[in-house]
């Protein structure tokens, strides 16, 4: 996931076109989530992350320390973590669903971790066989250990604009879960439209509720493009002051809930839009496109990035 | 995100999700609480101008049989769409895909309350259109001299003179004329286009009597930033109520650009069912924004369109099956199970068609030389 931040002090609305520049701390592109659906050889993953590191992205989610029994695509987490070339100034957070995963991650050299909550009881039940409350209790173990080791923790909230099992999710519920995770010590909360069903209308409503509980500077959006709404939803989030955005190079990662449909928004398309808005990201779009070409060739699939498909002529 | 269960048996079926949660299938869905469009300064109603049968099919690789076109338009007429661009009265020498303009015009079922505009690049095309029963026409200008030169071998000024002839005849016959301005956010030859130039050309078309000006991002390079700047310039010359946006999704920016336009008060949006119509300037790239995806967004914003999204998806499925291609609409991809391609709808590409197609590909699609 790529998160891009606006220059400091520009959290209210979009910056003017003439402004920009300054060290925007961009978050990074989802190597993890993007390749979760395919079985990718370890050297290819390492090469992908190394290429992403060269683009100027400041954060690259590398892998997931979950049991290979559940997510075999991430079984090589330790090798990936140890194999990548970690550039100074770039963060490489990893997923850690529990204390065991956290400890394995730290042993492998992780310096930042992420935990995943959800705004839907049914989604949590289906995914990890417990309630939202119980999942947060499990995470608190990770939080305690992370605090002791001075490791920052990022919190994700899934299903913020809709759930494949429950349907509509109330903005109040999203705000409640976000607040809990923020209070537990997550430095940032990434709000995920897991099935891409949200629109600028529901995004606005959800953010308005969450922003009453969590400072906007600690918020990120993680939009899926399953219904083609991602960039419009991200635009609304930016207009409301959100300055961290998750995305995936080449739009890697389909939607497991809608066969044949796309999932993550493509980092290239996002950066193209932000460039056009005069918002600084620090990312080299051409290098990003080259990285997308590399991984698509390796996976023998077409890119989901429209910018890449159009092969920018202007 | 997180672990995903491999069995999704208990997932809400998408049909349920669409109907219950997203009001897909309800042409006048109530706005979601808290999303009243009026409170947010957005228009209450947005008119969708469906350009799939003309702009879309003209830019597809396969030439579509007349019956299929008529069937498509008839299906679209039942969706609630208020305007459907039917065909183009240009020389078949240049645009063979639209050679059957008379048959299509005469063959479609005209629904009351629905407009069926046609393209008329010059007076000859206009007369031909009227003879075939057209009751609204469109003319195409451009904000780029190079584009105008490459397309119709004349300057912007010369093209305006031709359109004035059309506008004058149309006025005498009480036929409304819609004006298009291409390359409003960038040109494949000149690159950047100044908002001032777009405003100037728009003003010329409006002054000659066009009731509406559709501002086209012909190569889809625009972003919310450039859309905003361009609209600000044009809005100084033309009333907001007479403006429309025609966004291409070649760089994935269309919905964000349309949202920006709507936030500025524009209430007319052009789109193409199933996102028909590629981009002749970027091989393999998409072109028109998909009507389904636009309506989905507008529904979510609580904006009324009068259009039943589900029936549009059905029309999209019909034409994609006929063209043997995948839809460009993400909403359709995610929610409409098209099943196997039906053989009887497949259109074989003959050698003659391939030859004609090759010639047509050399001609840029918005402008045509007069005979």
Decide: A174 and A155 in contact? Cβ < 8 Å: no
Residues 6+ positions from B118 with CB-CB distance below 8 Å: B54, B85, B86, B87, B88, B89, B101, B105, B129, B134, B136, B137, B138
Distances (CA, A) of A273 to A143, A251, B239: 35, 15, 28
ipTM of this complex:
0.89
Contact yes or no for A200 and B334 at CB 8 A = no
| B183-235 residue pLDDT tens | 999 999 999 999 999 999 999 999 999 999 999 999 999 999 999 999 999 99
**CA–CA separation, A129 vs A98, rounded Å?**
14
CA distance to partner chain B, nearest, from residue A139 (Å): 13
Q: How many CB atoms lie within 10 A of CB B340?
A: 6
- Asked if residue B325 lies in contact with residue A223, where contact means CB atoms within 8 angstroms, the answer is no
Amino acid B19: pLDDT: 56
Task: Check A156 against B297: CB less than 8 A apart.
Answer: no
Q: How far is A195 from chain B (nearest CA, A)?
A: 10
3-state DSSP assignment of residue A177: helix
DSSP at A257: T
Q: How many CB atoms lie within 10 A of CB A311?
A: 12
- pLDDT tens-digit series, residues A24-77: 223 433 455 565 555 799 999 999 999 999 999 999 999 999 888 878 888 899
The stretch B232-252 carries a mean pLDDT of: 97
B248 and B218 Cβ atoms separated by less than 8 Å:
yes
Q: How confident is the model at residue B21 (pLDDT cuts 50, 70, 90)?
A: very low
Mean pLDDT (whole number) for A78-107:
95
Give the distance from residue A71's alpha carbon to the nearest chain B alpha carbon, in angstroms: 7
Average pLDDT over residues B27-44: 58
Partners of A97 on chain B (C-beta within 8 Å) are 2-3
Cα(B29)–Cα(B67) distance, rounded to whole angstroms? 33
pTM value surpassing 0.80: yes
Q: Per the CB < 8 Å rule, is B300 touching A229?
A: yes
B96: confidence class by pLDDT, cuts 50, 70, 90 = confident
Element (H, E) at B117: none
pLDDT value, residue A287: 97
pLDDT at position B91 over 90 = no
Please report, for residues A241, B83, B304, B331, the alpha-carbon distance to residue B297 in angstroms, rounded to integers and kept in the order given: 21, 19, 11, 10
* Confidence at B279, pLDDT banded by 50, 70, 90: confident
Residues of chain B contacting residue A156, judged by C-beta atoms under 8 Å apart: 1-2
Residue of B nearest to A171 (CA): B34
Please list the alpha-helical segments (H only) found in B51-144: 57-58, 66-77, 101-107, 123-131
Does B250 sit within 8 Å of A306, measured CB to CB?
Answer: yes
Query: Is residue B151 very low, low, confident or very high in pLDDT (cuts 50, 70, 90)?
Result: confident
Chain A CB within 8 Å of residue B218 CB: no
* CA distances in angstroms from A213 to A116, A156, A243, B176, listed in the order given: 18, 15, 17, 53
């Amino acid at each position: 996931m790529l998160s891009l931040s606006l220059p400091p002090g520009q959290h209210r609305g979009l910056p003017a076109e003439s402004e920009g520049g300054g060290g925007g701390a961009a978050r990074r592109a989802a190597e993890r989530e993007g390749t979760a659906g395919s079985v990718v050889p370890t050297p290819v993953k390492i090469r992908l992350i190394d290429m992403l590191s060269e683009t100027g992205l400041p954060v690259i989610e590398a892998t997931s320390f979950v049991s290979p029994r559940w997510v075999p695509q991430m079984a090589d987490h330790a090798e990936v973590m140890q194999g990548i070339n970690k550039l100074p100034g770039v963060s490489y957070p990893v997923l850690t669903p529990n204390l065991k995963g956290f400890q394995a991650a730290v042993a492998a050299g992780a310096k930042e971790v992420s935990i995943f909550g959800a705004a839907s009881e049914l989604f949590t039940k289906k995914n990890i066989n417990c309630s939202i409350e119980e999942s947060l209790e499990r995470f608190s173990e990770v939080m305690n250990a992370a605090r002791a080791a001075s490791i920052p923790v990022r919190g994700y909230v899934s299903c913020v604009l809709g759930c494949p099992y429950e349907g509509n999710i109330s903005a109040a519920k999203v705000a409640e879960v976000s607040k809990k995770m923020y209070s537990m010590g997550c430095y940032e909360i990434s709000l995920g439209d897991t099935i891409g069903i949200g629109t600028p209308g529901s995004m606005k409503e959800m953010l308005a509720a969450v922003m009453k509980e969590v400072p906007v500077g600690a918020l990120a959006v993680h939009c899926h493009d399953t219904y083609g709404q991602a960039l419009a939803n991200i635009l609304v989030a930016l207009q409301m002051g959100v300055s961290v955005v998750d995305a995936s190079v080449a739009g890697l990662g389909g939607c497991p809930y809608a066969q044949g449909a796309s999932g993550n928004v493509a980092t290239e398309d996002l950066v193209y839009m932000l460039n056009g808005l005069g918002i600084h990201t620090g990312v080299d779009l051409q290098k990003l496109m080259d990285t997308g070409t590399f991984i698509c060739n390796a996976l023998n699939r077409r890119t989901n990035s429209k910018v890449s498909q159009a092969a920018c002529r202007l | 995100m997180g672990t995903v269960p491999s069995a999704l048996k208990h997932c809400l079926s998408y049909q349920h999700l669409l109907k219950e949660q997203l009001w897909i299938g309800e042409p006048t869905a109530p706005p979601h609480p808290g999303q009243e469009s009026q409170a947010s300064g957005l228009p209450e109603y947005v008119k969708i101008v469906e350009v799939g049968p003309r702009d879309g099919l003209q830019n597809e690789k396969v030439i579509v049989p007349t019956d299929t076109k008529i069937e498509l338009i008839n299906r679209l007429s039942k969706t609630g769409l208020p305007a459907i661009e039917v065909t183009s009265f240009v020389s078949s020498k240049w645009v063979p895909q639209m050679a059957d303009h008379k048959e299509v015009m005469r063959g479609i079922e005209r629904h009351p309350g629905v407009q069926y505009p046609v393209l008329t690049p010059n007076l000859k095309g206009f007369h031909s259109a009227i003879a075939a029963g057209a009751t609204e026409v469109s003319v195409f200008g451009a904000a780029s001299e190079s584009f105008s030169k490459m397309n119709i071998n004349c300057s912007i000024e010369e093209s305006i003179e031709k359109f004035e002839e059309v506008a004058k005849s149309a006025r005498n016959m009480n036929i409304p004329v819609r004006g298009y301005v291409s390359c409003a956010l960038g040109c494949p030859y000149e690159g950047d286009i100044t908002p001032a130039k777009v405003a100037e050309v728009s003003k010329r078309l409006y002054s000659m009597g066009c009731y509406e000006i559709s501002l086209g991002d012909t190569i889809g390079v625009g972003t919310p930033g450039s859309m905003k700047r361009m609209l600000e310039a044009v809005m100084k010359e033309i009333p907001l109520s007479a403006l429309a946006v025609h966004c291409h999704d070649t760089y994935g920016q269309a919905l964000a650009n349309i949202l920006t336009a709507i936030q500025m008060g524009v209430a007319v949006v052009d789109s193409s069912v199933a996102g028909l119509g590629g981009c002749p300037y970027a091989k393999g790239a998409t072109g028109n924004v998909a009507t389904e995806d636009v309506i989905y967004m507008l529904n979510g914003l609580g904006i009324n369109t009068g259009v039943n999204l589900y029936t549009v998806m059905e029309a999209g499925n019909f034409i994609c099956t006929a063209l043997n291609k995948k839809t460009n609409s993400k909403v359709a991809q995610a929610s409409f199970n098209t099943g196997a391609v039906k053989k009887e709808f497949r259109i074989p590409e003959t050698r003659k068609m391939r030859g004609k197609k090759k010639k047509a590909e050399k001609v840029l699609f918005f402008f045509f030389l007069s005979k």
